[in-house]
């Protein structure tokens, strides 16, 4: 893509469904002062049937044209008629993007991509559901940011939980399986758990946007995954069974685990609600 000064870019993709890769080079990352380059994947509404859900895992990529050290951000999302957008992923600071040494911007040209890891379409039992989605400046709840500083990672058990924090009247925890879960024994499992759902009745749910990250304590190149899910009295946990490999996490050159210490951050916002009839 030439002329990086462009504010928005829409790229049409073809993989079973019509998809669009949206680029914003001046994303403020939830109202902050620092500008980021952000990407978002969106399906055209005609590509999603009302009785189907599309479970997709994919990576956003910015290509390093000089050294081949591409920057990536893995995302999982359940696409459906009421949620055709993956949500925004702020993948690199704009200042970093513009640095000549980064290799991302060469002769006013940069290359973005999306790599699909897994796409599964499944039919769902049809029920009438009313879903309320936030407008851009009319949010259901302000994003809550919680940081969990772990002093000794090696004392954690399967599973372990952070101290509680609150979002939208719900009690939340960050959950971790430090030794992996079931068939993902070589990976960290990281997820959000919500309890105290008394505010919801049996047929209601909250649509929640979740950002979980493991901080790189040395270079700031954090491992971050983003997704949206519905929490209800029957569904109280959501996350990634293979958040990142234990090999990468324990690699001393990457700064995720410094001696015995690590830092996990959750950014959570309620972006909508639904009710089954």
Which helix or strand (DSSP H or E) is residue 23 part of?
strand 17-27
C-alpha angle with apex 16: 69 to 224, nearest 5 degrees? 35
Q: Which two tokens stand for residue 75?
A: 């995302």
Rounded to 5 degrees, φ, ψ at 234 are -95, -15
Q: Which two tokens stand for residue 269?
A: 């916002």
**CATH number listed for the domain at residues 9-123:** 2.60.210.10
Domain 129-276 has CATH 2.60.210.10: yes
The model's pLDDT over 68-107, given as tens digits with 9 standing for 90+, comes to: 777 888 888 888 877 778 877 777 888 888 888 888 888 8
pLDDT score of 160 = 94
The model's pLDDT over 2-50, given as tens digits with 9 standing for 90+, comes to: 444 333 333 333 344 456 778 888 887 655 678 888 888 887 766 667 7
Q: What residues does each domain of the chain span?
A: 9-123, 129-276
Q: How far is Cα 161 from Cα 186, in angstroms, rounded to an integer? A: 20
């Amino acid at each position: 893509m030439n002329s990086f000064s462009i504010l928005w870019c829409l790229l049409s993709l073809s993989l079973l469904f019509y998809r669009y890769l949206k680029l914003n080079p001046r994303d403020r990352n939830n109202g902050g002062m620092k500008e980021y380059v952000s990407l978002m994947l969106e399906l055209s509404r005609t590509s999603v049937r009302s009785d189907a859900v599309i479970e997709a895992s994919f990576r956003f990529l910015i290509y390093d044209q000089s050294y081949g050290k591409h920057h990536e951000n893995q995302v999982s999302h359940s696409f459906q008629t009421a949620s055709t957008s993956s949500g925004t992923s702020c993948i690199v600071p704009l200042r970093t993007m513009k640095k000549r040494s980064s290799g991302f911007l060469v002769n006013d040209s940069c290359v973005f991509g999306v790599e699909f890891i897994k796409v599964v379409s499944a039919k769902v039992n049809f029920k009438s559901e009313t879903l309320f989605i936030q407008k851009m400046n009319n949010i259901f709840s302000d994003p809550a940011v919680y940081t969990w500083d772990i002093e000794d990672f090696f004392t954690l058990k399967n599973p372990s939980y952070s101290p509680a924090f609150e979002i939208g009247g719900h009690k939340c925890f960050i959950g971790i399986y430090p030794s992996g879960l079931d068939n993902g024994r070589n990976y960290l499992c990281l997820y959000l758990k919500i309890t105290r759902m008394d505010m919801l009745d049996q047929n209601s749910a909250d649509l929640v946007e979740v950002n979980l990250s493991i901080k790189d304590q040395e270079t700031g190149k954090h491992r971050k995954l983003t997704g949206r899910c519905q929490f209800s009295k029957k569904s109280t946990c959501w996350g990634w069974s293979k958040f990142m490999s234990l090999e990468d996490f324990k690699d001393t050159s990457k700064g995720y685990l410094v001696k015995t210490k690590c830092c996990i951050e959750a950014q959570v916002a309620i972006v909508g609600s639904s009710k089954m009839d």
